Amino acid sequence: MINISNENILLIKMIIWLVVIPALYFPIPNILKIISHKKSTKKWQKWLTQHMSHEAYIQKYPSTNNEIICHFCGSNRQGHQLHQALPKSMNFGFMDNKVDSKNTHYLSHHCSRCGSELFRSHHDV
């Protein structure tokens, strides 16, 4: 039978805590950030599919001179609204944490005259 004193048990516990706490502290917040980023990206990709894209709008409502014409009022003036900007990618390792400097912008384009939403798009900046 192994005879271990209380002091040795306390020393073993301290060593375990000194190893376990740093090993768990760094990856858990990073993993949560990655999961949150993936959920946000998935949500905004779904948002894009809920309305027509630029290509689908051009096919459905053809126009001349590559101008986008509002299907409701016939105006060729349009504006856009930025709804969300997310980092393009996030990578977290034990020592090399990096968030991509490029962002993905999710935009909705609308008619400047009547305000109807024409199409939705996203692009990397």
84 falls in which pLDDT band (50, 70, 90)?
A: very high
Q: Is residue 1 part of a domain?
A: no
Q: Model-level pTM?
A: 0.70
Residue 30 CA from chain centroid, whole number: 15
Q: Is residue 15 part of a domain?
A: yes
2 falls in which pLDDT band (50, 70, 90)?
A: low
Q: Is residue 32 part of a domain?
A: yes
- Residue ranges making up the domain that contains 90: 6-124
What tens digit of pLDDT does each residue of 93-111 get? 666 667 788 999 999 999 9
If one counts the domains in the chain, the total is 1
3 falls in which pLDDT band (50, 70, 90)?
A: low
What tens digit of pLDDT does each residue of 18-59 get? 887 777 766 777 778 888 988 999 999 999 999 999 889 988
